[in-house]
Amino acid sequence: MKDLLLVAAGGFLGATGRFLVTSIIQSKHNYPFPFGTFTVNLVGSFLLGFLFAQHLFNADLLLLLGIGFLGSFTTFSTFEMESVELIRKGKLPISLLYMALSTIFALIAAFMGYCLGKVI
């Protein structure tokens, strides 16, 4: 039961944080590119890489931060739906750019977070 509560608490905070960050970012940009989701996915990838490098994870922290918070702060499903929606709207080049940049930069962000976590 404790494990479920840790994941739920982290998930609540992560999903709330994602909603706030994406809302603020998207309200400042009137572009078809989904900057809000792009940003939270890069930040979340960086933070997860950093946390894993720090070996800060005991079982409770992994459930709260890794699975709960960062699992709900980042969003693969929204990324996919935004990509499909761009294609549906006839914006294939933007969709392909979004998919490529999200994948490449998320991997780079996770690696950079991991490297930074190792030196700190």
**Averaged pLDDT in 10-residue chunks for the chain of 120 residues:** 97 98 91 94 96 81 93 95 98 98 98 94
- Inter-residue contact 1 to 55 (CB < 8 Å): no
pLDDT of residue 62: 86
Question: What is the distance between the alpha carbons of residues 15 and 97, in angstroms, rounded to a whole number?
Answer: 25
pLDDT for the residue numbered 56: 66
Q: Is 78 annotated as a binding residue?
A: no
| Structural domain count, the chain | 1
For every residue of 38-71, DSSP letters joined together read HHHHHHHHHHHHHHHHHT---HHHIIIIIIIIHH
- Structural domain including 102 reads 2-119
Residues 6+ apart with CB under 8 A from 54: 117, 120
Q: What type of residue sits at position 119?
A: V
Q: Check residue 84 and give its pLDDT.
A: 98
Single-letter amino acid code for the residue at 19: F
74 is in an annotated binding site: yes
